Amino acid sequence: MTETSKTKERVKLIASAVAVLLGVWIGVQPPPEGLTVTTMYGIGIAVWGVLWWVTGIIPDYITGLLMCTLWAAFGSVTFPQAFTSFSRPVWWLVIVAFAIGSMAQKVGLLNRIALYVLKVFPSSYKGQIWGILSAGFIISPLIPSVNGKAALSAPIGLAISDTLGMERKSKGCCGILAACLTGFYQSSSCFLSGTSNNYLLLGIIGGYAAGAGDVSWLAWLGRAAVFAAVLFFGMGLFITTAFKPEGDVRLPAGYSDECLKKLGPMSRDERITLTVMLLILLMWMTEPLHKINAGIVGVTGICLLGALGVMTRKDFLSGIDWPSVMFIGTLLNMASVVGVLKIDKYLGDVLKPVLSVLVTNPYMLVAALILVVTVLKFGIVSLATSTVIVIFAFMPAAIAINVDPWIVAFIVWASCQIFVLPYMNSAYLCAHYATKGEMADHAIMSKQSVFFTALCIVGAFASIPFWQMLGLIN
């Protein structure tokens, strides 16, 4: 271990110890008006847990499970209340999303879909950029793992870049990677099934207003439509202009056909997986018509894949990211406990004097959210942790100016997906290492991240009149 690594470990240990002391200190403080002694225990435990998520002293899901257990042990809430989310449809949808996505990747279906989409577009650099973006927006709702999508798309992009004859880590090569990250990863906020964290968001906002968390797959897409259009066309124009390589570069004739030929005809498992995925998406889209809960539909789909032999016992164990599933469950539990203990109401009363001055209309709210998220990401790497912190802080102010909780959650999660510096984003690092570090020049790629933040502001501002028409802002 290098001296730098040793120093980082010592800082992590000291910060983690301070977190414990701070949690204990908060827990033994006399409760202010409106709170109880057991609520103070709960707040102290929550502060300790969040800070340990920041330091990463132990795995995040272990910290989460400990936090829930301590809430029950110290009497802040009952055991069923501390672990309530594990019986809710939202948590099961996280499992469904991971299972379906991993099977689509295992049988090679996603690679085939990407090649068919790329085949439609011109063989020029500009044509392939738009093709990659389109393939990403099509595949994004099929895989809930943002890290998985980044790791899957980057090697495809590198193969296209090499075939175009561009030097690795060049401006043009980085443009291909930027298109992969935008289409496959940064678009995930626009689709309910695009990332498991979207189900986490629904679980959190459900405690703020009746029906706030009851957003169907199609309703989510409709609400995010304007933002998605700004992201797709804005980033496409930026990449094809700012990352354009010197000279005219093109793919050889029949490149996609040759790749598809190597894949061979669709296998039985591919056909079954595609059918199940399409049926699940169709049922999710039409949930307002048939009234069948999305959790029931999703779990039935998993059972079909297992019964038909596509998903084996080994796939069920290794294909689902169980530590992430448990971590998301504990975050959902925290949102429930915060509501039970009325911490959110107390936090809103405390922050109201400050935020009521800074946030007086939807445009100021959106700008403040994106600014705070951007600054916070330099210190808190975890997307989920930083998202939850900002949502809890700003939600009372948003509700005060009649902004639907979904808007706050959506904007926070969308703008979190930046990588001005490489360490800030695990999905970006997954893409980087999936190509053995031979595709990305971090200095060039940071331009895409900065422009993405600008697009988030433009997309959110452009969406506000649309959200007002939908009744999400009154």
**pLDDT over 80 at 145, yes or no:** no
Report the b/e string of 391-423 with b at 16+ CB within 10 A.
bbbbbbbbbebebbbbbbbbbbbbbbbbbbeee
Residue in 430, 438, 347 with CA at minimum distance from that of residue 396 = 347
Predicted local confidence at residue 14, as pLDDT: 93
Which tens digit of pLDDT belongs to each residue from 347-366?
Answer: 767 766 777 667 778 999 99
- 57 in Cβ contact with 16 (< 8 Å): yes
Predicted local confidence at residue 151, as pLDDT: 79
Predicted local confidence at residue 45, as pLDDT: 94
Which tens digit of pLDDT belongs to each residue from 418-443?
Answer: 888 776 777 888 788 778 888 888 88
| Segment 90-99 mean pLDDT | 82
**pLDDT over 80 at 87, yes or no:** yes
Task: List the domain boundaries for the chain.
Answer: 1-82, 89-318
In the chain, the percentage of residues whose pLDDT exceeds 90 is: 39
Which tens digit of pLDDT belongs to each residue from 164-203?
Answer: 888 989 999 999 999 999 999 999 999 998 887 888 888 8
Residue in 372, 398, 400 with CA at minimum distance from that of residue 387 = 372
> Highest-confidence range of 25-34, 304-313, 382-391, by mean pLDDT?
304-313
Predicted local confidence at residue 344, as pLDDT: 67
Predicted local confidence at residue 50, as pLDDT: 84
**pLDDT over 70 at 327, yes or no:** yes
Confidence band, pLDDT 50/70/90 cuts, at residue 4 = confident
Predicted local confidence at residue 69, as pLDDT: 96
Confidence band, pLDDT 50/70/90 cuts, at residue 116 = confident
Q: How far apart, in whole angstroms, are the C-alpha atoms of residue 153 and residue 150?
A: 5
Q: How far apart, in whole angstroms, are the C-alpha atoms of residue 392 and residue 343?
A: 10
DSSP 47-101: HHHHHHHHHTSS-HHHHHHHHHHHHHHTTSS-HHHHTGGGGSHHHHHHHHHHHHH
Please state, rounded to an integer, the average pLDDT across all residues of the chain: 87
**pLDDT over 70 at 1, yes or no:** no
- 142 in Cβ contact with 104 (< 8 Å): yes
Predicted local confidence at residue 271, as pLDDT: 94
Confidence band, pLDDT 50/70/90 cuts, at residue 65 = very high
| Segment 6-12 mean pLDDT | 85
- 241 in Cβ contact with 118 (< 8 Å): no
| Segment 49-62 mean pLDDT | 88
Predicted local confidence at residue 357, as pLDDT: 67
- Taking CA atoms, 316 is separated from 105, 295, 327, in Å, by 14, 17, 18
Which tens digit of pLDDT belongs to each residue from 212-247?
Answer: 778 888 999 999 999 999 999 999 999 999 999 988
Predicted local confidence at residue 367, as pLDDT: 92
Confidence band, pLDDT 50/70/90 cuts, at residue 333 = confident
